[in-house]
Structure 1
């Protein structure tokens, strides 16, 4: 269940990132229902075309609001009334997860919905209120992101912070596969300021482009269907021979084809970074200002400070970017490294929705385990790199099956084995975990998903295991990254140095 709204005032970004998460969850077998108030019809139709349900909350015109949060008036009523409407719409059914993405809701509303949700994920960018949640996602990059939510979430809440968790549609990850850092002459410019753009930043950006002159590049302009100046912008695009795209489904393609973008902060920042698209970025809302300042400090965007004569400032900074190939290449390179497009999969895995089922290995798995373990790619990263004889493996595996302190789990995706996770338990309730994906197995499965599924199995079936640790070889950067991303902490480091004989 996902509680999110969209409107000309709040834009469509919250809705679109929730839709991206819902699509990722649905592909892994989850049923997703949206709970919304006043959602525009075209967004409701988009939801249902993706196979999700929509429960509409009643509009409470004229209601007073709480006035205790910076965005309380976005709700159109009190949190108490909205919670009652939500519970009434949901009925007696309980849900595995409630996802909340709304600046006007905090721990008061979330606590009331606990009666129908086993766990709660909050998506936030502001860190300006308290939450009652099990997971918190802030996909933006801030210099103080590790401490922003201190004292604002429960101690046991897991925080998913930074653009590694950016909720991007699959087409962005797919489009980046063939892209390199932008180091060529600018031949195509993309202008996009979100699905609503109530203050018409698009028009001011186009005025700057006209002032700069074409200089040999093409221009793509993207508008939402409800843009307040749609007709005027379409007329200008026709006169200037700009390509105008209204409510397009080709954003990833347009970004991949562009060499430079002019746009807003928010979620589109991470879409552009995923594709290495250099952006002259403007904060079109107060909550975007710090996001863009901190992202610019990390070299991810070229952020334009607030200005009274915006078109003139845009033209000045646009000219600077057009003339500085080295700066564009640097921004493009840093962006590509910061965002890989796998954020939705990571969040879904953290919610325990991996699409992978886990079972205990049995005697019939012995031959397959022996074959996988002896594969060169697995032996290379194992503690013991020698090939294991069948007789030795058989004795070891028979002992494992009889030992309650040793677990071998096999992960399966769509009925096919995709990986192996082993837990070796000691007397203190600590277990060493080792993991590998089946060589030449299903390429859609990620190690993080397998590890999460195995950990969930341990929590359900082995309450005696309290602490996990892992041994990873120093050169194995992929496994090191896997465990760090899964929330493991480095507790010691072992160095080795071989001395040549004199």
Structure 2
């Protein structure tokens, strides 16, 4: 599978977009995907870093003149007009050879007009966003952040077919965080070590403010790790400040962030991508919003008890940071609560979930047999299955066995078991009538929320085309309250048709 990324970094936009795309690209490559990054060479770009990680990079030329786009507030970040960027991206994709299976777009300046132009070069488009301020022409949208009314945030901005992955369950974290999370020490709320990290660029030098606050004599016995990115414009100044404080250790462009977070008892940081890294590690945080788009997330996350929000960077002073440090270094119960809430919100498996959707495992379908009787009964009678089926009452073993005998002997029925690597994941039943079929599907309990449902349905359609070539239409009857099934069928290619969902096979 070939997957391309259109993403940028710069002094102004920071490194967070590249960071999460690199995390996803690494996970995809482990599953055998070929990756291609397309990035414009803005000042502060990370093209060399991406190549150092072993990914191909196609570089777009950055002009010296200042660009003023007007299609959205972040348009200047693109550096050129949308049409020009789209044409240049198409040319890079063509030069990379062949059609790409997915194009992943992580850029605040790109919207549906740009995405529509790329349709000819890619099979599907995935967008990573957290602004919800512009329409998209995409097949999948990921917003890993947390906001009030999250499910309605993109209403009217996406195609009906678009699958939405919302919330920190899908936070894209590097594998090191999952590994460190597995051996975390228990935090008792005492503060002996503080981590300071305000992102790869930290244009406003919040790190300098934090160091000023930590100069107070009351923090002289607290070990402080200060991390900056290689592109931080204040790097030399910060390094000089750190040398003047005996308890402070300076780090630049680290590869062991998870280790540093695991060692710390409290953090001072920005409200961007690292928010979810801190939560996954159970690290209590004092958060500063260093960009406008971080303010809503920071405010809502604080309301949910994930961390303490100090405010937007322009109003957060050295004195405010110092006072917050005084309060929370003496409030172990608050820090324990932040830690527990963060661990519960983020499990570190978001990248694996997304990879399973972009590159779903192959599902093998086999005909059911009498030996499947007890297993199918157990799956069908599970509470999670019965919750949304039209007859939710448990079925007795005798009634089920009689039904299975009839079904297997009925030429107008097909009963299939889906398996991944030899393990059952779900059941498909087709009632055949002329040139139409009625589908029924349910998953083995524990397989929900991994993209298995839509992949199972797609596999069933392929099976029908091969084994029942006379069929023209497959119908699905779904309860209106069963949102998960509606999404699975829509993602598998079904469209609403009156009161049912339907896929036309031919």
TM over 0.5: yes
Match of 1:491 in 2: none
Task: Kindly report which structure 2 residues correspond to 1:26-45, keeping only aligned pairs within 5 A, or say none.
Answer: 26-38=29-41, 43-45=46-48
* 1:58 alignment partner, one of 57, 61, 71: 61
Match of 1:227 in 2: 232
Tell me, yes or no, if structure 1 residue 466 matches structure 2 residue 472. Answer: no
Task: Kindly report which structure 2 residues correspond to 1:45-84, keeping only aligned pairs within 5 A, or say none.
Answer: 45-62=48-65, 64-84=67-87
* 1:319 alignment partner, one of 326, 347, 370: 326
Q: Distance in 1 between matches of 2:261 and 2:291?
A: 22
Is residue 28–residue 355 contact of structure 2 (8 Å, CA) maintained in 1? yes
- Equivalent residue of 1:419, what SS? strand
Tell me, yes or no, if structure 1 residue 122 matches structure 2 residue 127. Answer: yes
Q: Distance in 2 between matches of 1:308 and 1:379?
A: 53
| CA deviations over 1:424-469 (Å, ceiling 9, x no partner) | 235795544333389xxxxxx9872543432331354455143568
| CA deviations over 1:280-336 (Å, ceiling 9, x no partner) | 000011111111011111111200124646110000111111111111111111111
* 1:94 alignment partner, one of 86, 99, 112: 99
More off after superposition, 151-160 vs 424-433: 424-433
TM-score (norm 1): 0.81
Is residue 458–residue 465 contact of structure 1 (8 Å, CA) maintained in 2? no
TM-score (norm 2): 0.81
Is residue 212–residue 315 contact of structure 1 (8 Å, CA) maintained in 2? no
Match of 2:11 in 1: 8
The structure-2 alpha-carbon separation of the partners of 1:481 and 1:159, relative to structure 1 and needing over 3 Å to count, comes to closer
More off after superposition, 84-93 vs 16-25: 84-93
Task: Kindly report which structure 2 residues correspond to 1:68-467, keeping only aligned pairs within 5 A, or say none.
Answer: 68-91=71-94, 93-179=98-184, 182-211=187-216, 213-214=218-219, 216-240=221-245, 241-306=247-312, 308=315, 310-351=317-358, 353-354=359-360, 356-361=361-366, 396=404, 400=408, 405-412=413-420, 416-426=421-431, 431-436=439-444, 448-462=450-464, 464-467=474-477
Q: Which runs of 5+ in 1 are unaligned?
A: 439-444, 471-479, 489-502
Q: Distance in 2 between matches of 1:213 and 1:484?
A: 58
Q: CA deviation at 1:339?
A: 1.1
Is residue 181–residue 276 contact of structure 1 (8 Å, CA) maintained in 2? no
- Equivalent residue of 2:135, what SS? coil
Is residue 440–residue 476 contact of structure 2 (8 Å, CA) maintained in 1? no
Q: Distance in 2 between matches of 1:289 and 1:350?
A: 30
- Equivalent residue of 1:59, what SS? coil
| CA deviations over 1:58-116 (Å, ceiling 9, x no partner) | 22332744322101111111001111111111227322211111111111111111111
Q: CA deviation at 1:403?
A: 5.2
The structure-2 alpha-carbon separation of the partners of 1:265 and 1:396, relative to structure 1 and needing over 3 Å to count, comes to same
